């Protein structure tokens, strides 16, 4: 399934609007951007460095497809990792749900197709409604630069990270080669 890449978080223009003259289409895009801003007030106007944010076709502004390319100092570089970010209906009072759709060998991400993430900023007891999505994205990127083995989802991988960093890094890079050198594939969304 293809996604439309955007630099601002806004719902895609419906296919019926493609016949609108440029001036009217620009007004419609501005209107859609304003609607998105009202529906997700903490969304980044520009994603942080290394991120690409898109909305899946026919999906609400509450489901985001995010691609992350970690910085060169990360063991996960030069991978491209798909992240599915979902804003709950009671957002911003509850944190977004963040899952990796690209597998990775990491102590804070389940080593399976679920891709659950253990990140302090997303825990219910730590979440603040004033937290911006850009801060969540930066925390995810930082997790790929410096894993947090003292708060793991995968204890075996955390032990390896703490006690045999060279082996951990070799396994992390092997999974990058196996799963993360192509553009991420996101799950289909319901219409």
65 pairs with which residues across the strands? 54, 84
Active site residue 118: yes
Encode burial over 93-131: b for 16+ CB neighbours within 10 A, e otherwise: eebbebbbbbbbbbbbbbbeeebebbbebbeeeebeeeb
Q: How far is CA 11 from CA 17, 28, 98, 171, in A?
A: 13, 11, 20, 38
Largest CA distance in the chain: 62
- Active-site residue, from 118, 121, 139, 145: 118
> What gap in Å lies between CA 54 and CA 11, rounded to an integer?
9
Encode burial over 150-171: b for 16+ CB neighbours within 10 A, e otherwise: eebbbeebbebbeeeeeebeeb
Active site amino acids: 118
């Amino acid at each position: 399934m293809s996604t439309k890449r955007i630099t601002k978080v806004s719902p895609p223009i419906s296919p019926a609007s493609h016949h609108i003259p440029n001036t009217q289409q620009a007004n419609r895009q501005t209107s859609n951007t304003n609607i998105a801003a009202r529906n997700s007030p903490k969304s980044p106007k520009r994603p942080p460095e290394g991120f690409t944010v898109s909305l899946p076709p026919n999906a609400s502004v509450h489901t985001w497809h995010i691609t992350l390319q970690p910085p060169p100092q990360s063991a996960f570089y030069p991978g491209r990792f798909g992240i599915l970010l979902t804003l709950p209906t009671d957002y911003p009072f509850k944190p977004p749900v963040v899952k990796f759709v690209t597998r990775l060998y990491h102590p804070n991400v389940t080593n399976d197709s679920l891709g659950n993430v253990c990140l302090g900023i997303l825990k219910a007891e730590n979440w603040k409604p004033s937290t911006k999505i850009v801060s969540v994205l930066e925390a995810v990127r930082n997790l790929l630069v410096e894993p947090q083995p003292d708060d793991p989802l995968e204890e075996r991988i955390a032990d390896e990270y703490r006690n045999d960093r060279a082996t951990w890094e070799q396994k992390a890079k092997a999974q990058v080669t196996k799963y993360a050198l192509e553009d991420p594939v996101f799950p289909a969304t319901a219409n």
